[in-house]
Amino acid sequence: MTTNSRKGPLNWWKILTIILLFYTLIAGFLFPVPRLPILNESIRNLYFHVPMWFAMIIMLGVSVVNAILYLSNENWKHDKTAVESANTGIIFGILGIVTGMLWAKFTWGEPWSGDPKQNASAIGILIYLAYFILRGSFSDPVEKAKISAIYNILAYPAFLALIFVLPRLTSSLHPGNGGNPGFNAYDLDSKMRLVFYPAIIGFSLLGWWITTLRIRFKNIEHLIKWGN
């Protein structure tokens, strides 16, 4: 009875994740979309490319919150969560860049055009790859956790500035940046929101699910190696 009561609250969000992602996949490819110049059917990538970036930002946000918590109480659980959330965030970031390149190929004529937001996104990913390189350069676990936590706290606002602020200060092909209107300015089909918002929730929950699995695997590796 106790075991079942524990499993229930833990599993509902995983079921919701599966439902939302299946709904996104099916609705994303089959539901009607507005026929807009240049975009045409490629606008369906809005259901995948953008929610992946939302999931990345959320997971990196979880990472920096846990970095702050680790510095405040030095609980190793927060360090593990910070690292694995950042790992998951980078995975979604890379997927976001790949799906963006595919979209750019069909709408802009080439996968990488040197657009300010493309360049800023690539730099942002490199900033977080440097975070993992930094962690690997320390052998002492306490020093590794503290210094990487400080780096994490500094990296997150820099990353947000790169992908949200700087592209708006110059000409950009991305909607909503550099004078280019956002989707809401010319997309009159509000039904897209019925897929777009669930997609954001679904991919974000998937990101947390992946993070919890990674933490579990790391705990198992620790048990096998150290026996405690």
Task: In whole angstroms, give the CA distance from residue 156 to residue 168.
Answer: 18
Average pLDDT over residues 78-87: 96
pLDDT at 227 over 70: no
Q: How many domains does the chain have?
A: 1
Q: How many CA atoms lie within 13 A of 110 on its CB side?
A: 5
Q: At what angle do helices 76-107 and 116-136 cross, to 10 degrees?
A: 150
Q: What is the pLDDT of residues 122-142, one digit of tens each?
A: 999 999 999 999 999 998 999
In a domain, 10, yes or no: no
Share of the chain above pLDDT 70, in %: 86
The amino acid that residue 3 corresponds to is T
In a domain, 16, yes or no: no
pLDDT at 188 over 80: no
In a domain, 208, yes or no: yes
Task: In whole angstroms, give the CA distance from residue 60 to residue 86.
Answer: 5
Q: Residue 105's domain spans which residues?
A: 47-220
Give the mean pLDDT of the chain. 86
- Confidence at residue 50, expressed as pLDDT on a 0 to 100 scale: 92
* Cβ–Cβ < 8 Å for 99, 48: yes
Q: What is the pLDDT of residues 103-113, one digit of tens each?
A: 888 888 888 88
Q: For 7-16, 78-87, 138-147, 193-202, which range has the lowest pLDDT when averaged over its residues?
A: 7-16
In a domain, 32, yes or no: no
The amino acid that residue 212 corresponds to is T
* Cβ–Cβ < 8 Å for 207, 55: yes
In a domain, 63, yes or no: yes
In a domain, 39, yes or no: no
In a domain, 24, yes or no: no
Residue 33: phi, psi to the nearest 5? -130, 155
In a domain, 38, yes or no: no
